[in-house]
């Protein structure tokens, strides 16, 4: 196992352009590389998120992407200006903003309460 150098999360997407646009323009992650419509990779905070075209029927596994943030309400307001609605959930120790990407992959922002 010592030869493993890095890891990533790969999402199967229905439309490569739409996925890349969402993660780069809406979430603001830099595009690391793209090989036409076969593979793309963005740099998220502490994670590489990769995209591969979905083959066959559309099905979602039990994957969600979460990001710890500061000032969650400001980020939700920014998402809304980009056409993405988020549901805010107040828990006892944190506040969540739940939303999804264009393929329905669940995402969330989490802000710990002090």
Q: Is residue 4 part of a domain?
A: no
Q: Is residue 76 part of a domain?
A: yes
Supply the pLDDT for residue 1: 54
Distance in Å from the first CA to the final CA of the chain? 38
Tell me the Ramachandran region of residue 30: left when phi exceeds 0, alpha when psi lies from -120 to 50, beta otherwise. Answer: beta
Supply the pLDDT for residue 48: 92
- What does the block give as tokens for 100? 């999804």
Q: Is residue 89 part of a domain?
A: yes
CATH code for the domain of 104: 3.10.180.10
Rounded-to-integer distance, Cα 86 and Cα 111, Å: 14
Supply the pLDDT for residue 8: 84
Question: What one-character DSSP code corresponds to residue 29?
Answer: P
Q: Is residue 21 part of a domain?
A: yes
Q: Is residue 68 part of a domain?
A: yes
The parent domain of residue 80 ranges over 9-112
Average pLDDT over residues 94-105: 91
Say how far residue 19 (Cα) sits from the centre of its chain.
9
Q: Is residue 20 part of a domain?
A: yes
Residue owning tokens 């690391």: 32
Q: What's the domain count of the chain?
A: 1
Q: Is residue 19 part of a domain?
A: yes
Least confident of 7-16, 53-62, 75-84: 53-62
Q: Is residue 3 part of a domain?
A: no
Average pLDDT over residues 62-67: 81
Element holding 65 (H helix, E strand)? strand 65-68
């Amino acid at each position: 196992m010592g030869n493993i150098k890095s890891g990533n999360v790969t999402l199967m997407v229905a439309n490569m352009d739409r996925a890349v646009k969402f993660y780069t323009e809406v979430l603001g992650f830099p595009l690391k590389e793209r090989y036409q419509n076969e593979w793309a990779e963005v740099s998220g905070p502490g994670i590489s998120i990769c995209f591969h075209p979905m083959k066959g029927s559309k099905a979602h596994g039990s994957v969600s992407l979460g990001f710890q943030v500061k000032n969650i309400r400001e980020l939700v307001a920014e998402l809304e200006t980009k056409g993405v609605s988020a549901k805010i959930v107040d828990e006892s120790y944190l506040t969540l903003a739940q939303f999804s990407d264009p393929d329905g992959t669940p995402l969330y922002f989490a802000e710990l309460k002090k």
